[in-house]
Each structure stands twice: as C-alpha cells, then as structure tokens.
A and B are shown apart, each in its own frame.
Chain A
Amino acid sequence: MTALLEINDLCFAYPDTPGGPDRGILTGLTLQIQAGERVGLIGPNGAGKTTLFLVTCGILPPSRGQIRFRGRELTKNSFIPEIALVLQKPDDQLFCPSVWEDVAFGPQNLGLSAQDVASRVNEALQSVGAAALAQRPIHHLSEGEKRIVAIAGALAMHPALVIYDEPSTGLDIRSRRRLISLLQQNRKQKTSLIASHDLELILEVCDRVLLLGQGRIVADGQPAVIMADEPLMQAHGQEKPHSLIPHRNQHHSPRRQRNK
C-alpha cells in the first residue's frame, strides 16, 4: 500500500542562506504518513516545522528531494485541495467579513455550485460545533472561536490530510479541551499532522510522534516512548512532559491514569 504522504530527502533553504542548500532549514528530511494516522511533530522554535508544512502544501518549492501525495509527485506551485493547512495565527486565514463567508471561500474556489458550497459550509461548521457562529462577524470572535472557525475553513475543503501548525497557542483551558476532542474525532477519514509545543496535547491526541532537529527527523515512534526519553528530548531543546514523570503523589484523575 502506498503511503498517503511520502517525503524523500527533502532539502529547503531560503534564498539568502549562506552556504547553500545543505545549510538550509530542512536538510534531507524523509518521512511517510499512512492514511488514518495522527502524527505529532515536535521540535524547538526555528527547527523548520512551518517551513516543512509550506513545502508540503506546494507554497515553497523544495531545493532538493520529492514529495509524493497518494503516490503522485508534487510539482512547484501545485494546488492539492486534499491537503489542508491550518496556520498558526487564525487571523492570517480569516479575512472575510463573516464566518460563513470565510468557510465558503475554499469550496467556492473549487468551483462548486452554490448549493454544494452551502452544504459543505454547514457540514464543516457543524463538525466543529460552530454552527451557531455562522453569521457572526469574524472580527468579534474570541481567540478560541477564531481557531475553531479556521479549522472549519480547512475541513470544508474535504481534505484527506489536515496539517495543524501550533493549534493550541493562545487558547484558554476550555477552548484547548474543545480543540483536543475535535482533533480526536473522525479518525477514520482524516489523517492529521499536528505541530505543537504543547506536548501534553500531542500525547493525548497522536498515536505517533516525530522529533525534528537540525532539519531532519531525529526520532519517530510512539509518543509515550519518545517523549519519555529524557536525554533525547533535552538534546533537542524539549522537556519530558509532566505526565510522563513518575509521581510520588497520584494527583492525576483516575480516568487519565487508566488511559496511560
């Protein structure tokens, strides 16, 4: 079976980087993601997570290497509606006057009929539990609502792979919890790739984690295994998540203890 996303020896350097492509942000990155997986991507600031996403979506051309999506090689500037990217700052995505119009923006670009657009928008808003926000001006939404709407805008494209760039930054506890249950939903159809510094979120949501360092994948495996490897985590500017540290006092709730 071919992988959903297959990246081979990917290099990327911004044009003004001294020292050529080998000194770039991505230096020979290889990874495969199978359909239905929920993959977390961790790594320090500036490790190249956002760059990797932009290259994967065809926004930035790689300096070397290939990206295959469903076995088809991506060329420069290709637009693949099956890959959706939710940017780090929802304000960067939301530019329409109202929620409904913003979620409709993508489907309209696919050339769908007005009826299909409407049904996709309603479906996307419902799936994130934001149907009530449809007519609200974007401008008056809270940070958490903006995030949810941005995700709806991505889901309305009916993507096979959704990439989330730092989805939990700036969210309060309740919005973050809502985001986590949203990310845990519909695992069957949607493959997701989630970059985050919120390691507890990755631990709860993902079944596989990739650690990015010096422009390539330095570790790949089960979140609980990789994140528990303290020397590895510290070598790449990470911390072992609190919940993986053995506790003298059992202060976590019994439900989460059972999940572990």
Chain B
Amino acid sequence: MEIKKTSLLQRWDPRCKLVALGALILAFAMVNDLRLVPLILVVPLLLMVVSGLTPAFILRRLRYPSLLLLFLLIGLPLAVGEEILLTVGPLLIRREGLEAAVLIGGRFLGIFLSALILLNTSPLTANIKAMRALGLPWILTDMALLVLRYLRVIGHDYRQMRIAMRIRGFKGNRLRLRYLQIVAWLTGSLLVRSYERSDWIYRAMRLRGYGHNDGPVSDFKAVRLDFMLLGVSLFWSLLIVSL
C-alpha cells in the first residue's frame, strides 16, 4: 500500500542493501564535524526520492521521537557552551550547545531515515533471510522469523483479553496494588499461553521435517545493478569518513 509498484530500492538485493546500510550507519555515526551534516542528510533525501515511499508514511514514523533525544536537542543549546548567540526572553541560546544539537539531530535523521527507507522497501522476512545469508547464526534468524510470525497472533490475544476485561468494568488508570496484580495476571496468562502454544508449534514444525536438514539455501540473486548500488553506498560512506 505504501509503496508504488517497483522502485529501484525494492528490486535491490536485500543482502547488498543491508551491507550498504551498515556501512552508511557506521559512517554517519562517525561524523563529528558540523560541515559534514549536509553530506549525511543528502542520503535519506535521495533514498526517499527513489524509494517510492510516500512522505506521509515517513512522517508518521517520525511522530514518536525518543524523549531523551528531544531532551538533548532542546536542552543542549540552552545549557552548554560559553558563546551566546541569541537571547529569546529569559533564554540564552549558546553556540557550542546548538552545534552539538545540530550534529546529534543530523546524525539521528541520517541513520533513522536511511534505515527506515532501506528496510521498508523489502519485506521484513526477506531482510531476515538476507541476514541469514550474510552469516547471522541460524538460531537468531529462526527465532526472529518465529517472533515476527506470532507477534500478531499474541497481540490479538492481548487485545481480546483487554476487551473482555473492559466489558467486566476494568478501568486501569490508577496506580494501586490491585491494578498491578491484574497487569501481572494478564501478562502471566499471555506468557503461559505462548509457552503452551510453542509446544504445539514445535510439534507441527517437527512433523513437517523441521531440523532434518539445514533448510533451503537462500534464493537471492545479485546482478550488476545490485553491486553498483552497493558500490555507490560504500563510496559515499568512505567519502564521509575520510573528510
């Protein structure tokens, strides 16, 4: 729904995409010079253009920022530094703090948006399988795929239980021991049910041959275009690092 038919990024081999993303993230995290921030921000902008993702989708994901990040972005210009740039009423905006805030904000936007765009242009399962193909231990990837599959199921269980509680008049808005006990019982039921469900899942997997061989070899196929895109990303990362 979010994506137009097939954008360049959607066709990009997930393995190459992940390697490129890793390189970009490390390069961005390394930036400590204010003048490099535009070089960072140009990457998500470019990605956004070729991704086919709608700006509305991306903005929606930026809606819940980290509290700590907000605290730093607002607090730093007010609290840190000696040189005063601007006086707004009783508040003093300081140069060093502002620079640090811009740097943090720039790195955040660069990493967050690039990851958001690159990971959302392939299905999450494809990304996990690509990680497996890149050498992530199979225990981790098997777990991740199962978590992904059952997250919705357990989330549905949870919402149904909340509905049943509301119908019987439960309003959880005050901190009392009884409330905590109810939350604990609710969480505990969720855990016990998941635990029991897992036995059946394992049996069903076993019946269909889980564990008898190492599973299918990955069916990813990288062509020249995939490597070219990877090359461009690596070049850009190196450029940022070397400047």
Known A59-B163, A95-B186; 19 more pairs at CB < 8 Å: A54-B163, A59-B166, A79-B166, A79-B169, A81-B169, A84-B168, A87-B160, A87-B164, A91-B193, A92-B157, A92-B160, A92-B163, A93-B161, A94-B189, A95-B164, A95-B189, A105-B170, A153-B168, A154-B168
User: In the assembled complex, how far is the CB of residue B167 from the closest CB belonging to chain A, in whole angstroms?
Assistant: 5
Query: Closest B-chain residue to A96, C-beta based?
Result: B185
User: In the assembled complex, how far is the CB of residue B108 from the closest CB belonging to chain A, in whole angstroms?
Assistant: 30
Partner pick for B161 among A79, A95, A139, CB 8 A cutoff: A95
Q: Which residues of B line the A interface, CB within 8 A?
A: 157, 160-161, 163-171, 178, 182, 185-186, 189, 192-193
Q: Which residues of A line the B interface, CB within 8 A?
A: 54, 57, 59, 79, 81, 83-85, 87, 89, 91-97, 105-106, 108-110, 139, 153-154, 157
Query: Closest B-chain residue to A94, C-beta based?
Result: B189
User: In the assembled complex, how far is the CB of residue A197 from the closest CB belonging to chain B, in whole angstroms?
Assistant: 19
Complex Cα–Cα for A108 and B171 (A): 11
Query: Closest B-chain residue to A109, C-beta based?
Result: B169
User: In the assembled complex, how far is the CB of residue B159 from the closest CB belonging to chain A, in whole angstroms?
Assistant: 9
The 6 closest A-B pairs by CB, nearest first: A109-B169, A106-B168, A92-B160, A93-B164, A95-B189, A85-B167
B170 & A139 in contact (Cβ 8 Å cutoff): no
For residue B178, which residues in chain A have a CB less than 8 angstroms away from its CB? 108
Complex Cα–Cα for A91 and B153 (A): 14
B185 & A95 in contact (Cβ 8 Å cutoff): yes
For residue B169, which residues in chain A have a CB less than 8 angstroms away from its CB? 79, 81, 106, 109-110, 157
Given A105-B170, A106-B169, A139-B192: A92 touches B164 (CB 8 Å cut-off): yes
Given A91-B193, A95-B185: A84 touches B167 (CB 8 Å cut-off): yes
Complex Cα–Cα for A84 and B169 (A): 10
